[in-house]
Amino acid sequence: MSFKWIWTYIRPYGLIMLLGLVLVLITSGLAMVNPFMSGMIVDKVIEASQTHLLWSIIAVMVITTLVKSVGRYAYQLIFETVSQGVFKKIREDIYNKIQTLDFDFFNKNRTGDIMAKMTGDMEAVRHFIAWVIYMVFENATIFIFAVTMLFITNAPLALFMVAITPVTGFFAVRLAKEVKPTFFAIREQFSRLNTVVQENISGNRVVKAFAKEGYEIEKFERENEAYREKNVASAQVWSKFLPIIDALASSLMVAMILVGGILVINGSMSLGELVTFNGFLWALNNPMRMVGWLINDTQRFVASAEKVMGLLESEPKITPNEDAVQKDRIRGSVEFCHVGFSYGDEKVLEDISFTAEPGQTVAIIGPTGAGKSTLLNLICRFYDCTEGAIYIDGTDIRQMDLKLLRESIASAMQDVFLFSDTIEGNIAYGVPGATEEQIQWAAQMAGAHEFISTFEEGYDTIVGERGVGLSGGQKQRIALARALLKNPSILILDDTTSSVDSETEHRIHSSLKSYYRDKTTFIIAHRISSVKNADMILVLDEGRIIEQGTHDELLAQKGYYYSVFQNQFGDFDSFISKEVG
């Protein structure tokens, strides 16, 4: 299976690969020349004193070596080129795959594990193409050449020696069988090790905050030691077989001297033939020795290839609709129609219905874990709703072109993620071609321009992993600017100003008023001040809409919204009276 898979990648390089194999064939053939020439020098030049032949023999030796070494260099490069080509293609295929996989996949798979596949496993795959394939071929050709030569020299003895091959084959097969699971174990452990280290690095602040370095080291050492053990366990297996295979290869020598000797004594073989036999023995020996190593590397490849294939074969549940309704632009009317959603069997949203027209602002408020973010995730189709349907401009979003849908929506998510790139690059993330003016405009709208300008390198300041180097509120505003720059039809602001002080927040909201005009805007917030001016406020609790209306309507209802208002502003009246009085 792994071989079929890798073949589909190698096939485009078929021709050049063939050329490589031809070169292997030629150089293997040339490898037979020098031992032959050495014999010539002894037989002809020294014994027969044909000194004039010396120079030509040497010339032949030097030239064949030159040709051989150049040939070898050439095919090594050919195989490297092919393997790098294949390697690059697989890597890019994985990358593309990763980009199409949905949230569900990333909730279930750890970064460290995916990284393990893209580094360690890919390396095993590369090694296989770059090295194992030509080594197999090189050794096979040498072996075949040698066998042919031997048969020509003396068929009965040759037959006797080749008879050992099946025994070697038997052990080779056993090795392949027994060593395979150990390589699977190694790569599983590799992935675990990767995950532990990855998580430790990304959580380094928490580790230090609680002075838990000791605990982390303990955790790491467990995996580290296990990784060592898995490797040693694997070595236990192959170290059982490799010496046997090796000894079998050497036993050819024993067979040769015993059987060959008897044949010579019998007179059915000449001494010279035996010496020639001896000369070609290495060409029989070496390939047999290599069998064990090559099997090892191949099984390592199989273990890794299966992981890589697994990744390439994972299918997102959310797929771009092939026969999507074609549209140029989304206006932005959003309708939820009895929408229900559950993560697995945990119900999160139930019977959500509402309609938002372009230009309207819908605010969502509600307790922690009520399902607010989930609701907005459904609009972007990060998940598909499990009941009911969502319509945008009257079309079920599952019938729409996924790319168009996402291009028409911009969201500033609740857990802000910035890339380690310049501030400019981060703001322009959704619009890679944006001009400097546009970027500055977006930053201004998001209330970020001011602080960015105070930085030494301004918009070219590089932020660290996930936005390290910026304060919490600064990160949020960059993420907001990133969303604004996209100029979408639907804007989603999920708790975007939670780390921003009220003054700044107020400024941002007033400057955004004109921006909202032609867009459908969704705002999730806990502060009444952020949601108050919305055209419609949805109060979400345990996945249901429990109140719906404008600020004033909801206040009049004296329900959840009213009590939140009281909590936040209950002292307003007393405050005012104190101020006045």
Ligand X SMILES: Nc1ncnc2c1ncn2[C@@H]1O[C@H](COP(=O)(O)OP(=O)(O)OP(=O)(O)O)[C@@H](O)[C@H]1O
Comparing CB distances to other proteins, the nearer of 217 and 355 is 217
C-alpha to C-alpha distance for 103 and 512, rounded to whole angstroms: 30
C-alpha to C-alpha distance for 458 and 447, rounded to whole angstroms: 15
Nearest CA to 258 out of 237, 232, 277, 233 is that of 277
C-alpha to C-alpha distance for 420 and 162, rounded to whole angstroms: 62
Question: Is the distance from CB of 493 to CB of 521 less than 8 angstroms?
Answer: yes
Comparing CB distances to ligand X, the nearer of 117 and 372 is 372
For residue 53, the partner it binds in ligand X, Mg ion, other proteins, none, with Cβ less than 5 to 8 A by kind, is none
Site for ligand X in 308-347 (CB under 6 A): 343, 346
Strand order from edge to edge, sheet including 395-396: 346-356, 334-343, 387-392, 395-396
Q: Tell me the closest approach of the beta carbon of residue 309 to ligand X, in angstroms.
A: 26
C-alpha to C-alpha distance for 407 and 427, rounded to whole angstroms: 15
Site for Mg ion in 357-386 (CB under 5 A): 373
Give the x-and-dash track for 12-51 against Mg ion (CB under 5 A): ----------------------------------------
Comparing CB distances to ligand X, the nearer of 276 and 411 is 411
Nearest CA to 391 out of 341, 333, 340, 350 is that of 333
Comparing CB distances to ligand X, the nearer of 114 and 142 is 114
Segment near ligand X (CB under 6 A), from 282-290, 366-374, 405-413, 572-580? 366-374
Question: Is the distance from CB of 380 to CB of 402 less than 8 angstroms?
Answer: no
C-alpha to C-alpha distance for 265 and 202, rounded to whole angstroms: 76
Give the x-and-dash track for 103-142 against ligand X (CB under 6 A): ----x-----------------------------------
Q: Please tell me the count of residues contacting Mg ion according to CB under 5 A.
A: 4
Report if residue 496 touches ligand X, rule: CB under 6 A. no
Comparing CB distances to ligand X, the nearer of 39 and 458 is 458
Of the candidate residues 236, 353, 453, 471, the single one contacting Mg ion (CB under 5 A): 471
Q: Tell me the closest approach of the beta carbon of residue 41 to other proteins, in angstroms.
A: 6
Residue 13 tokens read as 């390089």
C-alpha separations of 442 from 419, 450, 456, 504 in Å:
18, 12, 20, 15
Of the candidate residues 81, 386, 414, 487, the single one contacting ligand X (CB under 6 A): 414
Residue 552 tokens read as 């004033």
Comparing CB distances to Mg ion, the nearer of 310 and 472 is 472
Q: Name the β-bridge partners of 410.
A: 491
Residue nearest to ligand X (CB): 473
Comparing CB distances to other proteins, the nearer of 240 and 331 is 240
Strand-pair category, 536-541 with 361-365: parallel
C-alpha separations of 391 from 116, 183, 358, 479, 526 in Å:
40, 50, 13, 27, 27
Report if residue 411 touches ligand X, rule: CB under 6 A. no
Phi and psi (nearest 5°) for 258? -75, -60
Query: Could you please report the per-residue DSSP string of 142-155?
Result: HHHHHHHHHHHH-H
Site for ligand X in 150-169 (CB under 6 A): none
C-alpha to C-alpha distance for 470 and 493, rounded to whole angstroms: 20
Handedness of CA 372, 376, 381, 382 (dihedral sign): negative
C-alpha to C-alpha distance for 24 and 29, rounded to whole angstroms: 8
Q: Tell me the closest approach of the beta carbon of residue 345 to ligand X, in angstroms.
A: 10
Element containing residue 338 per DSSP (H, E): strand 334-343
Give the x-and-dash track for 89-108 against ligand X (CB under 6 A): ------------------x-
Report if residue 473 touches ligand X, rule: CB under 6 A. yes
Q: Tell me the closest approach of the beta carbon of residue 407 to ligand X, in angstroms.
A: 24
Q: Tell me the closest approach of the beta carbon of residue 502 to Mg ion, in angstroms.
A: 15
Comparing CB distances to ligand X, the nearer of 282 and 455 is 455
Q: Tell me the closest approach of the beta carbon of residue 447 to Mg ion, in angstroms.
A: 16
Give the x-and-dash track for 398-417 against Mg ion (CB under 5 A): ----------------x---
Question: Is the distance from CB of 295 to CB of 174 less than 8 angstroms?
Answer: no
C-alpha to C-alpha distance for 295 and 261, rounded to whole angstroms: 34
Report if residue 530 touches Mg ion, rule: CB under 5 A. no
Q: Tell me the closest approach of the beta carbon of residue 472 to Mg ion, in angstroms.
A: 4
Q: For tokens 């910026």, what's the residue?
A: 470
Q: For tokens 């699977």, what's the residue?
A: 184
Residue 314 tokens read as 């994972």
Q: Helices marked H in 414-550 — which ranges?
A: 423-427, 436-445, 449-454, 472-485, 502-516, 528-531
Report if residue 474 touches ligand X, rule: CB under 6 A. yes
Of the candidate residues 65, 165, 499, 533, the single one contacting ligand X (CB under 6 A): 499
For residue 342, the partner it binds in Mg ion, other proteins, ligand X, none, with Cβ less than 5 to 8 A by kind, is none
Comparing CB distances to ligand X, the nearer of 23 and 470 is 470
Comparing CB distances to other proteins, the nearer of 3 and 417 is 417
For residue 163, the partner it binds in ligand X, other proteins, Mg ion, none, with Cβ less than 5 to 8 A by kind, is none
Q: Tell me the closest approach of the beta carbon of residue 326 to other proteins, in angstroms.
A: 17
527 CA to centre of own chain: 40
Q: Please tell me the count of residues contacting ligand X according to CB under 6 A.
A: 20
Task: Give me the residues that bind ligand X (CB under 6 A), please.
Answer: 107, 343, 346, 348, 368-374, 414, 468-474, 499
> Where does this chain bind Mg ion (CB under 5 A)?
373, 414, 471-472
